[in-house]
Structure 1
Amino acid sequence: MTVDRQSVLRELHDLHAAVIWRYAMHLTRNTSTADDIVQETLLRAWRTPRILDQDPASVRPWLFTVARNLVIDDARSARRRHEVAVEDPPDRGVEDGSDGLFDILLVEEALQALSEDHRAVIVRAYFGGQNTVELAAELNIAEGTVKSRLHYGLRALRLALQERGVTR
């Protein structure tokens, strides 16, 4: 930066910084935001050669316009729209278990719609953790029959759940 530009910027600051700060303070009601607005306004003046080429006393309207636009941009920013400062964090939601209870009731009701043979195989396999060999031995049926009952029982269970509004 040349000495000439430095002196022009210093003169701009001396002539207009306090007035621009009061204007920004009036618009924002926040001292740190007003400080930032003045700093950014003067930075933009420094980056605009045509402003530095003018008489420092005649650029006040341009500085006010820049300051006003910066305040508007800040008010429209996502930071201002979405963040709300609060003293205490909000309470966290507590799971009450009602969804799980309704799921259990729904599955029990759907299982009741199955035949006894299908229900016995599905309950022992999925809730009892038994495999097809164990199921075949316990129910005294062939492994192929266990697999068939599991297949058709699950299809019937899926349909029973869909009739009750379950879509997943």
Structure 2
Amino acid sequence: MNNTMDQSRRRLFNRRAQQAIRPPWSRTDIEFTDICTRCNLCIEACETAIIFRGDGGFPEINFSQAECTFCTKCVSACKEPLFNDPQQEPWQLRAVIDNSCLALSGIWCQACKDACDARAITFTPAIGCAPQPAIMLDSCTGCGACVSPCPSQSISITAKEPR
């Protein structure tokens, strides 16, 4: 019985850890938490203040107020080998729009499109209803610029599905 409880706790912890979004160019979550000293240098260096002390004091990303500009200041500030080469793709994240989107409910809204510098969010005109949103996965950088302007909090940033 104790073994079953230990496995359940481990699964719960692993599920939470997988939901945490680490700074761009971070190594895998297991490597990250093994090496990170929780010194807060990346948090202090973040130009948009989206990095915060998450569970266990490890750095996590919160897009509710701003986006990642991929400035690499978090990478430069870190004294540990936590980050991959900043010349590579920063992370495997993308934006996802859920069913609470105002446009999907027939209300004209394109706040996410207006905030997206990568132009990864498009709206297709439709007769008799508001234009419908779509995310072009090849263009989405997962920067989170679309998250905070969404009035219905319908956008989240999640791991990309493997192709």
Q: If the TM-score is normalised by the length of the shorter chain, which range does it land in?
A: under 0.3
Superposition TM-score, scaled by structure 1 size = 0.21
Higher helix share: 1
Superposition TM-score, scaled by structure 2 size = 0.22
- Max radius of gyration: which structure? 1
Q: Higher relative contact order by CA 8 Å / sep ≥ 6: 1 or 2?
A: 2
